[in-house]
């Protein structure tokens, strides 16, 4: 068992985002620094781990985006938070069917965790792939960033209004190594930033992805210089929740947020309308936000599954369609997961959104 005090080294009182950042990314005790979270033996499954079809469809979409951008001779793709590397592994196989695209493409993986980076290198085992900690080395050619369940893993701030005064939520460590929630008056800077967003008006409880927007800023800067875009697939909502959406998982089961620190995953639901508003303010174009079901079906995932199933045994077919159901079913991942694409380009006929 990891002691709570290990996550409060810098201060005994931390805002929600800094506390969760420590719990997830502390170099010694952090969740992503000390544990492989993916797969049946981990704490959760992501879409690439459920079916290779998902990764193939992302590959086809990337080829189509390159086509839309005019088949540039140099093209960069960056996977954000690549997990165990299984998505990129399938992308590389898919790209072999498109030699012109494959030749033009540089592949970068943006990963914070050394543990996961080593796992990705082992799983992918391909010299074409480069790992990066920032985007400064990418200087030529359009760029497409993409992330599956990237944004939900970036810690958020939480605020609450009491008598029209905004307070920020903090976690306080007491002398018994227990953690308590407290509220302090929000800083003027944070209040000003939050009030810029129409989508956050009239809410009593506000979740604000300050660290996430800092990450997006770096990405947008690159897109603005080189042209290209950002594709995000994540679980989230369009209508503000007005409540706490933080959740913790361990062994595929829900966990009390303050239990099993460093051993359980912590995420929050993504506010897609906030992202939409943010991208527009940054002078990027945004495609209509769609569900994962809509996007994957528009990109031909059912046809691909039907095609593959013809050469399969009944047992293999059952497995294929069961996994497909998990990706598309409106009660499972189909509607809960949303897809947003923001871009800078004179072309706008990117597939999957209409």
Residue 24 phi/psi, 5-degree rounding, is -85, -35
Pairwise CA distance, residues 146 & 107, whole Å: 11
Pairwise CA distance, residues 58 & 266, whole Å: 26
Question: Is residue 59 included in any domain, yes or no?
Answer: yes
**Amino acid 143: pLDDT:** 98
Q: Model confidence at 43, in pLDDT bands (50, 70, 90)?
A: low
Q: What digits encode the pLDDT tens for the residues 119-171? A: 999 999 999 999 999 999 999 999 999 999 999 999 999 999 998 999 999 99
Residue 61: how many other CB atoms lie within 10 Å: 23
Q: What digits encode the pLDDT tens for the residues 277-332? A: 999 999 999 999 999 999 999 999 999 999 889 888 998 899 888 998 999 999 89
Beta bridge partners of 234: 338
Pairwise CA distance, residues 110 & 345, whole Å: 23
CATH of the domain at 140: 3.40.50.12710
**Amino acid 41: pLDDT:** 56
pTM listed for this prediction: 0.93
Q: What digits encode the pLDDT tens for the residues 214-227? A: 999 999 999 999 99
Residues of the chain with pLDDT > 70, as a percent, come to 97
Residues of the chain with pLDDT > 90, as a percent, come to 75
Q: Is the pLDDT of residue 172 over 90?
A: yes
Average pLDDT score, the chain: 93
Task: Output 33 or 185, whichever has higher pLDDT.
Answer: 185
Query: DSSP E strands: which ranges in 35-142?
Result: 75-80, 105-110, 129-132
Question: Is residue 106 included in any domain, yes or no?
Answer: yes
Question: Is residue 1 included in any domain, yes or no?
Answer: no
Residue 77 phi/psi, 5-degree rounding, is -125, 140
Instruction: Please tell me the total count of domains within the chain.
Output: 1
Write the CA distances from 2 to 5, 157, 206, 209, integer angstroms: 9, 24, 30, 27
Question: Is residue 241 included in any domain, yes or no?
Answer: no
DSSP 184-232: EEPPHHHHHHHHT-GGGTT-SEEEE-HHHHHHHHHHHHHHHHH-EEEEE
Question: Is residue 202 included in any domain, yes or no?
Answer: no
Q: What digits encode the pLDDT tens for the residues 69-99? A: 999 999 999 999 999 999 999 999 999 999 9
**Amino acid 251: pLDDT:** 84
Question: Is residue 123 included in any domain, yes or no?
Answer: yes
Structure tokens belonging to residue 188: 């003027």
Q: Can you tell me the mean pLDDT for 1-29?
A: 87
The range of the structural domain enclosing residue 87 comes to: 26-153+209-235+246-344
Structure tokens belonging to residue 115: 């543990």
Question: Is residue 19 included in any domain, yes or no?
Answer: no
**Amino acid 128: pLDDT:** 93
Question: Is residue 169 included in any domain, yes or no?
Answer: no
- Residue with token string 């302090």: 184
Pairwise CA distance, residues 344 & 145, whole Å: 12
């Amino acid at each position: 068992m990891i002691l709570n005090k290990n996550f409060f080294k810098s201060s005994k009182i931390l805002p929600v985002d800094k506390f969760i950042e420590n719990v997830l990314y502390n170099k010694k005790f952090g969740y992503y620094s000390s544990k492989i979270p993916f797969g049946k033996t981990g704490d959760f499954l992501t879409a690439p781990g459920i079916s290779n079809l998902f990764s193939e469809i992302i590959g086809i979409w990337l080829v189509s985006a390159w086509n839309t951008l005019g088949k540039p001779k140099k093209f960069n793709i960056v996977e954000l938070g690549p997990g165990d590397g299984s998505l990129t592994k399938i992308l590389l196989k898919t790209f072999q069917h498109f030699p012109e695209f494959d030749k033009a493409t540089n592949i970068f993986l943006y990963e914070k965790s050394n543990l996961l980076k080593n796992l990705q290198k082992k799983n992918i085992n391909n010299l074409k792939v480069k790992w990066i900690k920032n985007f400064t080395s990418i200087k030529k050619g359009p760029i497409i960033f993409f992330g599956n369940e990237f944004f939900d893993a970036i810690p958020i701030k939480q605020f609450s209004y009491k008598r029209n005064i905004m307070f920020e939520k903090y976690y306080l460590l007491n002398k018994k190594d227990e953690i308590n929630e407290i509220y302090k008056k929000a800083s003027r800077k944070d209040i000003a930033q939050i009030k810029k967003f129409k989508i956050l008006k009239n809410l009593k409880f506000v979740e604000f992805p300050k660290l996430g927007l800092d990450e997006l800023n770096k990405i947008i800067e690159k897109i603005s210089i080189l042209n290209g875009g950002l594709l995000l697939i994540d679980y989230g909502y369009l209508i503000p929740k007005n409540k706490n959406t933080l959740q913790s998982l361990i062994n595929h089961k829900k966990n009390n947020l303050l239990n099993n620190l460093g051993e359980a995953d912590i995420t929050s639901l993504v506010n897609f309308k906030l992202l939409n508003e943010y991208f527009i303010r940054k002078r990027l174009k945004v495609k209509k936000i769609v569900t994962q079901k809509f996007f994957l079906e528009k990109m031909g995932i059912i046809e691909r599954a039907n095609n593959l199933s013809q050469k399969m045994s009944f047992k293999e077919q059952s497995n294929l369609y069961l996994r497909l159901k998990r990706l598309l079913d409106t009660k499972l991942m189909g509607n809960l997961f949303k897809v947003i694409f923001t871009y800078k380009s004179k072309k706008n006929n990117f597939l999957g959104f209409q």
